[in-house]
Structure 1
Amino acid sequence: MDTIGEKIRIQRVVKKYSQEYMAFALEISQAAYSKIERGETKLKLDRIYEIAEVLEISPFKLMPPSKYDGAINFQGIYAQYFKIKRFIITKVLRRKYLVAVDDVDQSDISNN
């Protein structure tokens, strides 16, 4: 997985911008900008937005994915499915079966 710095570098190269241009646009030194791309500088959200603006991209392209982003917790889904299934079998269907048995007239059973 690419780090934020790697993502920035890739986008910069795609746009054919130099590190000097990026540094000038961000009003920082080229050395400081280089540290951003190497991941030696922790970026605050406002700086990520500034870099994205210079690169003319969405800042979300640079940020790491959220732990909830596009991930489906199948184990959780299956666990809930089996809990619901168990509930239906043990509570609902048994109750219906017991009611149905009670509703049947004993004389109907003996006549058949």
Structure 2
Amino acid sequence: MNKNVGNNLKILRKAKNMSQEQVADHLKISQSAYARMERGESTSWATHFDRICQVFEITPEELVKKETAGESYGSLVNNNQRTEQLMLSFYQEILKKYELQIEDLKTIVNHLKEGLNKKGFTTK
């Protein structure tokens, strides 16, 4: 059980882009004590059960369930990829709008130049 929870802790921590020290600070324990939890060498995770679930935003069942951390990590990765894809699409739409506006402005400038040329003004 300790090894399973330790593995889950490690995967969840990495999925949150946190260091062992950062998690330890949240739990108000030393980094070395937290490292022992991740290695499955300590049962002290049970003492910090609720706080661990809060830090990683998981249910208690997810902490002790086998394969939970892997699923959570996969879910986080998939969510991040979806977010990146949505942001990319959003920015591509913005770029298209600006490109269209630039083309419209070029057309307007050309028409203005033509009008000035007809009136006898020279343009560069």
TM-score by length of 1: 0.52
Question: Residues of 2 paired with 1:52 and 1:25: CA distance?
Answer: 11
User: How many residues are matched?
Assistant: 65
The structure carrying a bigger helix percent of its residues is: 2
Verify the 8 A CA contact 2:37 2:45 in the aligned structure 1: no
Aligned to 2:9: 8
Are 1:23 and 2:24 an aligned pair?
Answer: yes
Shift of 1:31: 0.3
Shift of 1:36: 0.4
Question: What's the secondary structure of 1:41's corresponding residue?
Answer: coil
Question: Residues of 1 paired with 2:30 and 2:44: CA distance?
Answer: 15
Q: What is the correspondence of 1:54-65 to structure 2 with a 5 Å cutoff?
A: 54-64=55-65
Query: What RMSD in Å do the two structures reach over aligned CA positions?
Result: 2.1
Question: Residues of 1 paired with 2:44 and 2:29: CA distance?
Answer: 13
Give unmatched runs, 5+ long, in structure 1: 66-112
Q: Per-residue displacement from partner, 1:19-76 (whole Å, max 9, x unpaired)?
A: 01000000000000000000010146442221111111112111146xxxxxxxxxxx
Amino acid corresponding to residue 4 of structure 2 in structure 1: T
Amino acid corresponding to residue 49 of structure 2 in structure 1: I
1:8–1:44 Cα change, 3 Å: closer
1:36–1:44 Cα change, 3 Å: closer
Question: Residues of 2 paired with 1:64 and 1:12: CA distance?
Answer: 16
Give unmatched runs, 5+ long, in structure 2: 67-124
Question: What's the secondary structure of 1:36's corresponding residue?
Answer: helix
Question: Residues of 2 paired with 1:16 and 1:54: CA distance?
Answer: 12
Larger RCO of the pair (alpha carbons < 8 Å, separation 6+): 2
